[in-house]
Each structure stands twice: as structure tokens, then as C-alpha cells.
Structure 1
């Protein structure tokens, strides 16, 4: 059985005039279906580049990327658009909500573009915003806005939820509640979740930890007993 996500000797090279930058250099790792994976490393290590290639937002310069049996690295631009639309949920550090739409309308926006969306109101209730769905983003706290962004990603019913520093703009307690929501989503819904962070303290919550340093995988390990987020301090 092949892994749900696999990177095999993946590279990403940027050329700026005479200068060549290897942002990602022969990276190989795998993630199993339903796992909560954390990709950790310092700023500039190549984490976001890896996430962008996994999400079909950026192509690789070499190697192969597979998700659920599909060869992502061999897709045409049109196929990549369909892949991003139907299979991937994205959560970023900044919430990217449409300011003149309510929380419910923001989530409905995402569910309009995919094949088998979940009910937007139900997903908002599941993320703890049942009472706030008719509020606009400006009427919501940072943590509530990030919950809307997560609900928007989950409403697409994605195969893979990709989160780039999802607590980066939040205070400690709010960040913890968002990470608990992501961990619970993984456990209860069986969604494969990948979180990128520079914060090594978060690694005990993961089933799988992939450490990236200078564009390469420095270490990958699995944890048979991940720690609930509530018990982690940083």
C-alpha cells in the first residue's frame, strides 16, 4: 500500500538572473491517511514551499508528488485547478475572509465551487460559531475569524487540510483552541491534516513530525501516542 501523501526526491529551484536558489532540495517524506502531520522548521527552511507544492499552488522542479494515488507533479494547470478546488482545504495565518460577506456567506462561497460540499451552517456550528454565523468578519475576534476560515476549508469536504502557521496571528489561548479544533477535526472526521509551524513545542500533538532545515528533511518520526493540545505548554 502506498502512502496517502508521498514526496519522492522533490526539488524546487528558483532562478534570479545568474543566481540559482534551491528552496527545496531532494525532499522525501510520506503521510498516511487520517494522520495529523506537523512540518516544523525555522523561517526560510522551505516549509511553505513544500506546502504550496503539496497543495498544487506551485510546481516542483524535480521529483514526484502523489496524493491519494494521483500524480500531482505531472498535472496540467487545468488539472491542478480542479485538484485545488475539490481535494484541498487551505487555512492560512491570515484569514482571507471577504469583508462584506457574513461568516455563513464566506463558508458558502467555498462550498459553491466543489463537488460534494458539506452544509455551511452545520460546519459553522461544529467549529463553535453557531451563534455568530450572521456576523461580518469585522464583528468577529481573530480566533473567530480563523474558525470561519477553517469552516470554509472543511465545507469543501477536502481530502487534505493544509494549514500554514494557522495560529501565527493569534494569542496563546486562542491559538491553542484553534489547534484543538484542528486536532479534533482530524480525529473525528478522519481528515488528513498538515500543519506548518516554526514552533517545535507543537510537535507532541502530531502523529507524524517532519523537520525541515535548509530545504531538506532533517528528521521524520511518528508518534504512537500524540499529546492532546490542552496538555502542551509553550
Structure 2
């Protein structure tokens, strides 16, 4: 069985005038379908570049990247747009909700652009917001807004859920609720979830832990002793 996500000898170089910045150098790793993977590393280590390449928002300089047997790194611009639209759900540190749409309308927005969307109201119920569907973002707490953002990503029925510091703008207790939701989504729906964080304390919640430092993978390890979010302290 080949891996669901695969990075092979990935290199990313940015050029600014005469200066070359090596954001990634010889990055290799695999993630299996249905895994909860945490990519951890200091700020500037290259985590977000990995996520942006996997999400089809950035291109690589050398190497190849696969998702579910498709070589994303070889896709045309048009096909990359379709890939971002249909195959990947994104959750960022800031939820980027449309302020003049209700929670339900925000989730429906995502389902309008994809092939086999899930029911928006049902997804909001799953993330614990059945009573808040008619509320606007300004009427929701930070954690509720982030749950709407996760619901919006899930409504696309994506192959992969990519989360970049999803609790970065939240307080401790709310952050825990959001991480619990992501862990539950992975377990109950068999969703492949990838979370990027600088917080080493979050690694026990993952099946697979990938550590990035200075643009390269310093370790990949499987976690045999998965800890529930409720039991993690930081």
C-alpha cells in the first residue's frame, strides 16, 4: 500500500534579487490515510511552506509531492485550482469568515464550490453549533468562529484537512476544544488531518509526529501512546 501523502526530495528556493533563500531542502515523509499528523517546528523552520505546497498554494523547486496517487507537484495551474477547491480543506489561525453571512451561510459557501458537499446544517451540528446556525460571526465567540471555519472546511468533503496553527488565536480552554474536535473528526470520519504547530506539547495527540528544523525533516516518528486532548497540558 502506497502512502496517502508523500513528499519526495522536496526543495523550495525563493529568490529575492540576487539572494536565494532555501526554505526547504530534501524533505521526505509519508502520511497514511486517516492519520492525525502533527508537523512541529520553530517559527521559520519551513512548516508553513510544506503546508502551502501540499495545499496547492505554492509550488516546489525540485522533487515531487503526491496525494492519493496524484502527483500534485506536476499539476497545471488550472488543475491546481480544482485540487484546492475539491480535495483540500483549510483551517488557518484566523478564521477568515465572511462577516455579513450567518454561520450556516459561511459553511454553505464552501459546499457551493465542490463536487460532493456534505450537508452544512449537519456539519454545524457535528461541531456543536446546531443552536448557532443563524448567528453572524460577530455574535460568536472566538472558539465558535473557529468551529465554523472547521465546519466550512469539512463541508467540502475533502481528502485532506490542513490546519495551520488552528488554535493560535484562541485561549487555552477554547484551543483544547478545537483540537478535540479535530482529533474526533479524524477518528470518527477517517479524515486525514495535518496540524502545523510550534507547540511541542501537542505532539502526544498525533498518530505521526514530523519535526521540521531549518527547512529539513529532523525526525518522523509514530506515536504508540496517543493521548486524549483533555489530558494534555501546556
TM class, shorter-length: over 0.9
Higher mean alpha-carbon deviation, 3-12 vs 222-231, is at 222-231
> Aligned partners of 2:232 and 2:84: how far apart in 1?
32
The root-mean-square deviation of aligned C-alpha atoms, in Å, is 0.4
Aligned to 1:229: 229
1:169-202: per-residue Cα shift (whole Å, max 9, x none)?
0000000000000000000000000000000000
**Residue 161 (structure 1) aligned with residue 171 (structure 2):** no
> Aligned partners of 1:148 and 1:26: how far apart in 2?
36
> Aligned partners of 2:225 and 2:73: how far apart in 1?
33
Matches within 5 A, 1:123-202: 123-202=123-202
Q: Per the alignment, in what secondary structure is the counterpart of residue 131 of structure 1?
A: helix
Q: Per the alignment, in what secondary structure is the counterpart of residue 43 of structure 1?
A: coil
> Aligned partners of 2:158 and 2:9: how far apart in 1?
26
1:107-131: per-residue Cα shift (whole Å, max 9, x none)?
0000000000000000000000000
> Aligned partners of 1:83 and 1:224: how far apart in 2?
32
Q: Per the alignment, in what secondary structure is the counterpart of residue 105 of structure 2?
A: helix
Q: How many residues align?
A: 234
Q: Per the alignment, in what secondary structure is the counterpart of residue 132 of structure 2?
A: coil
1:71-111: per-residue Cα shift (whole Å, max 9, x none)?
00000000001111111000000000000000000000000
Aligned to 2:69: 69
> Aligned partners of 2:71 and 2:170: how far apart in 1?
35
> Aligned partners of 2:153 and 2:75: how far apart in 1?
22
Instruction: Give the TM-score, by structure 1 length.
Output: 0.99
1:225 positional shift? 2.8
* Structure 1 consecutive aligned stretches of length 4 or more whose deviation exceeds 3 Å: none
> Aligned partners of 1:61 and 1:132: how far apart in 2?
44
- Unpaired runs of 5+ residues, structure 2, are none
Q: Per the alignment, in what secondary structure is the counterpart of residue 50 of structure 1?
A: helix
- Unpaired runs of 5+ residues, structure 1, are none
